[in-house]
Chains A and B, each alone.
Chain A
Amino acid sequence: MGGPVSRLFVETVGLFAPGLSSWQEGCAVLQGRAPWQDEPLPRYQPALLPANERRRATALVRLAFGACEQAVAGRLQEAAGLAAVFASSGGDYAINDQICRALASVERRVSPTQFHNSVHNAPAGYWSIATGSREPSLSLCAYDFTAGAALLEAATLVTLERRSVLLAVYDNTIEWPMSGKREVLRPFSAALWLTPEPTAQSLCGLVVAPGERGREPAGADAAGLELLRRGNPAARLLPLLECIARQRGGAVLALPGGGALHAAVRPC
């Protein structure tokens, strides 16, 4: 057996972050053709959720959907056939805040909707309902190393099981008082539709392999994007997204325990 090298293809990308409200708009910034503007992110209204679920969807679910719905836009039937790897470095801080406040009160009244929204896989559960996908779906966390761990998991799933996978990585801002313990200043959400074989629409190929242990990932090229990357664990994907937008180069993503992942872009 050779080394653990995953060769896969990027079918589409969805991007939903301040100043990068879509992949189309974001490409100009990621290619260095336009400056990054630190604009507030508009509230996203998921289009694919049934009314009940749309009403119950939290800000974190809507953030994840902002990127995921872009990635499958106009291709809903295919979306039902996608497996999913969803990842967040801390889950739904706002819901946890509400529940912990309720539990600290005399009545200790937690709402059923708050509770089911508190599970780490809530966005993935909503996504499965929205698309009708019964394919395997995984939700993971690796704190500040979540983006790398998620790409590794998704790439392995694609290459080993020959499945198409939607990889979604998202982290929302954190409010007081938890912001006193952990800071995420801007929201970030990205989704990559990954396939085992190239298609007529493929954006590029990806070669995912172990990186040099202990190697510090390079930052994003654009100064503004580097601010975004450092300030949100999900945005650690930005250097890879720059490579995809430019159709060349490679990025290093850190893994827990000093490991690293190298992801190289190959033009199709």
Chain B
Amino acid sequence: MKALPITSYTLTTALGAGLEANWGQLEAGVSGLRPCAFAGSEALATWVGEVDGLDRIALPPRLAAFDCRNNRLAWHGLQQDGFLAAVAAAVERYGPGRVACYIGTSTAGIHQTELAYMALDAQTGALPADYRYETTHNTYSIGEFVRLALGLEGVSCVISTACSSSAKVFASARRSIAAGWCDAAVVGGVDSLCLTTLYGFNALQLVAAQPCRPCDIGRSGISIGEAAGFALLERATHAAAPALLGCGESSDAHHMSSPHPEGAGARLAMAAAIEAAGLAPAAIDYVNLHGTGTPANDLAEARAVAQLLGGEVACSSTKGWTGHTLGAAGIVEAALSLLCLERGLAPRSLHTTVRDPALEINVLLEHRAQRLGAVLTNSFGFGGSNCSLVLGGTQAWEGQ
């Protein structure tokens, strides 16, 4: 595939709002995870990556109908790193109908419905009158919110494939640009803390009691996080910008909530992304693992990475910093990978102290300053949905 410039991107996680806040904590090795104090889930012994201050975020009056934790997080994220101005310039350049909007989420604003069910009418069982489904909980609500917030009129949908959602938005946007449906696309992912995921993953016994320790011999599960991230892809640019080099998608065809034990689907997605980038596997300098921290996920992913790329390439999971941000994990890890590419760092795997010897890959225990040419980032989800992206550092583009 033709490489696409990523002309702007931004990230808001438990580490902070905006790229510099995230980079500072990444570089310093400071985790954003804290003991879970999310209202209604205090009984769960787990740590979460919660974004501070969402209770105080106010949406503009024109978007008031969208008010919920998920859209507040999106709004907060959109304000960072000059992203609004970059999108406004793209809208000016191409026209609003030529800028697409692809957002990934797993649960959108389902928390609003969880709260509404706690306030059902005692007589009729009706949902509260002020509860709005369409603009908060519906899977597309986050897509419509971002579309309206940015004034976009191009192709738009929400991709919801659990934890691969906001990696797959890059693949759909890339196709949309290549096929001529748009000239630029806003892609992103937003997922916010809710009881459904906190109690759901707990029921599956996939949640760690302590901060997650991806690839560690003592790993015991995930820490759930929340995040909003966005990127602007353009058909062409005259400025220097990092690149989306390749996308690869596959399915496990194995199990709804467990990975294929040999990582067969994961390997297909990685191989497809590297092939689409026109690279040899040896050209990958760093792998940002999906690395959730569950025993089965990390083992399956390591097998797939080792088979395809060998045991030498630098690998790490950044979920020790942000937690597993589920439908936002793809964009979170794409944005962190872009920062690492631009600033020359293969980051360590936070909270990983003793590598699991069964994982025959090179999980970094210390930061490694090195020039990175191409980075592979993995996102795998329930339903056996896999997506890998190959990203490249800042390069000069030839324009239109």
Residues of A within 8 A of B (CB): 1-4, 6, 53, 56, 84, 89-91, 96, 99-104, 108-112, 114-122, 124-126, 128-129, 131-143, 145-146, 149-150, 152-153, 156-157, 159-161, 176-178, 180-182, 210, 213, 255-259
Contact = CB atoms under 8 A, between A and B. Distances in A.
B157 A256 contact: yes
Given A141-B138, A255-B156, A132 B253 contact: yes
B139 A91 contact: yes
Contacts of B131: 181
Given A53-B256, A160-B178, A152 B251 contact: no
A142 B156 contact: yes
User: What secondary structure prevails in chain B residues at the interface with A?
Assistant: mixed
A155 B125 CA distance: 43
B139 A120 contact: yes
Interface in B127-157: 127, 131-134, 137-141, 143-144, 147, 152-157
A256 B203 contact: no
Given A116-B204, A181-B131, 13 more contacts: A53-B256, A96-B113, A108-B40, A112-B200, A119-B382, A122-B382, A128-B252, A129-B384, A136-B250, A139-B383, A139-B385, A181-B134, A213-B97
Contact of B155 (A132, A133, A255): A255
A134 B256 contact: no
Given A143-B138, A156-B176, A259-B154, A104 B161 contact: no
B117 A101 contact: yes
Nearest to A87: B157
Nearest to B195: A103
B251 A133 contact: yes
Interface in B170-206: 171-172, 175-176, 178-181, 195-196, 199-204
B118 interface: yes
21 contacts: A91-B160, A96-B110, A103-B117, A103-B196, A110-B200, A112-B200, A112-B203, A116-B257, A119-B106, A121-B162, A121-B381, A121-B383, A128-B252, A131-B253, A133-B253, A134-B251, A139-B159, A139-B160, A142-B140, A178-B133, A257-B153
A137 B385 contact: yes
Given A121-B160, A129-B255, A90 B138 contact: yes
A120 B139 CA distance: 8
A122 B113 contact: no
Given A90-B139, A134-B265, A143-B144, A121 B181 contact: no
Nearest to A99: B196
Interface in B93-125: 97, 106, 110, 113-114, 116-118, 120, 124-125
